[in-house]
Amino acid sequence: MSRRLVVMILVASAATAFRTPTHAQTPVHARIDAAAAAVNDRVVAWRRDIHEHPELGNREFRTAKLVADHLTALGMEVKTGVAHTGVVGILRGGQPGPLVALRADMDALPVTEQVDLPFASKVRTEYNGQEVGVMHACGHDNHVAILMGVAEVLAGMRADLPGSVMFIFQPAEEGAPAGEDGGAELMLEEGLFATDKPAAVFGLHVTTQTVGTIGYRAGGIMAASDTWRMVVHGRQTHGAYPWGGVDPIVTASQIVVGLQTIVSRQSNLTKAPAVVTVGQFNGGVRSNIIPDSVVMVGTIRTLDPDMRTDVHQRVRHTAEHIAASQGATVDVTINLGYPVTVNDPELTAWAVPVLERVAPGKAVQRPAVLGAEDFSYYAQQTPGLFLWLGIVPEGRDPAAAPANHSPLFLADEGALPIGVRVLAHLAVDYMTTRGN
């Protein structure tokens, strides 16, 4: 009996619309693992090469060429220049079935590397008018090398794949340079999912947990990161006669205090945490002048899309009503950053046995973090799952390890084959257990 036939019978006999994967390793999984082991030396070499030659967002020319040449050599349909420097490859399986998307981000950061490695970055460039070092301080070099490895593994099984895989190599996750667009949002605007819409999208990020572990969480895993700016308009007067004007410093101070109750008194924190921060407060020039206006700037972090909208409304409402109570006015501007990165709860539950098969006893639930990720845009269009991949060497305290974005950030290469296996297992299991 062909493997395809086995799959069809199993799918047909499933009580629900799809089967749940099991922990059990089947011949197809053994085949993935053998292919992942065979490509590992090259994955390590790609990662070192990319690490040594990091490129900032929208400038990933060398990295994109490396990726595009690899995908082309594997016989994929390849698109380059997507959202400036992005590369998208589609691997059409030999059997009909769903399309699954896998995503890696390619950009580095304006950080001067301080890690003592033979392949440490010595690259320098100009960023927003400053001369800076460039480093893969967020570990995206690992993501690119892993996804190139997955491409090789799955291309080797193409004839047997019951579905297709979209490989997304994305520029500018850390944000485009000033005055430019970029990243996931631009790839989608350019029609990434317009003709080939994936049934699911998977991605991962290296992080400071022990190598060998995979972290997951259903629902909001990374925050929406929005910034706000307020201009409180009073009426300037002499500091000795405050009744002659409207004091924007006192009004703005009351707004600062009022904002504190949005999270502590008004938000349902059993649903998700949230943060409202005032980061800047500017007004006045000297002791005896009550100024005309005060400018404040801050950030809002939320982990639930509905709470995000709700907190924004409460920030406006609080500021406007406090200002009105003082005879002042306020202009509130909220600039939307990346949305909440939401792991589809049902897709996450489906994936847990896959994670446990790939990393027995080391697939761990993790709390959410208040950093932001533009993987969120893909997961708004189709069910998504974003995972954490541990990179702290065994025996070291993850809490003491240099965090992502540190000039000392260091990824243990033992994480690479786990990254390749987890994405390949997820893609193949999705196609075999959730296809029609």
Of residues 33 and 107, the one with the C-beta less far from Zn ion: 107
Residue of 78, 82, 88, 138 that binds Zn ion (CB under 5 A): 138
**Amino acid making up residue 395:** G
Of residues 138 and 200, the one with the C-beta less far from Zn ion: 138
Instruction: Give the x/- contact pattern for Zn ion in 74-113, rule: CB under 5 A.
Output: ----------------------------------------
Of residues 135 and 138, the one with the C-beta less far from Zn ion: 138
Listed residue (110, 175, 104, 176) closest to 137, CA to CA = 110
CA–CA distances in Å: residue 21 to residues 14, 28, 99, 354, 426: 12, 13, 18, 7, 10
Smallest distance from the beta carbon of 138 to Zn ion, in angstroms? 3
Which residues are CB-neighbours of 303 under 8 A, at least 6 positions away?
Answer: 219, 220, 221, 222, 223, 224, 272, 273, 274, 340, 368, 370
Which secondary structure element, helix H or strand E, spans residue 303, and what is its range? none
Of residues 101 and 138, the one with the C-beta less far from Zn ion: 138
Set 338, 377, 378, 430: catalytic member: 338
Smallest distance from the beta carbon of 390 to Zn ion, in angstroms? 15
- Which residue stretch of 133-141, 157-165, 266-274, 426-434 sits at the interface with Zn ion (rule: CB under 5 A)? 133-141
Largest distance between two CA atoms of the chain: 93
Smallest distance from the beta carbon of 363 to Zn ion, in angstroms? 21
DSSP string computed for 22-77: -SSPPHHHHHHHHHHHHHHHHHHHHHHHHHHS---TT--HHHHHHHHHHHHHTT-E
Active site residue 413: yes
- φ, ψ of residue 48 in degrees (nearest 5): -65, -40
The secondary structure of residue 355, as a DSSP letter, is H
- How many H helices and E strands in the chain? 10, 18
- Which residue stretch of 122-130, 136-144, 234-242, 343-351 sits at the interface with Zn ion (rule: CB under 5 A)? 136-144
Set 77, 190, 356, 413: catalytic member: 413
Neighbouring-strand partners of residue 278: 298
Of residues 138 and 146, the one with the C-beta less far from Zn ion: 138
Active site residue 77: no
Smallest distance from the beta carbon of 140 to Zn ion, in angstroms? 6
Smallest distance from the beta carbon of 375 to Zn ion, in angstroms? 9
- Which residue stretch of 65-73, 84-92, 135-143, 333-341 sits at the interface with Zn ion (rule: CB under 5 A)? 135-143
For Zn ion, which residue has the nearest CB? 138
Residues marked active site are found at 338, 413
Residues near Zn ion (CB under 5 A): 138
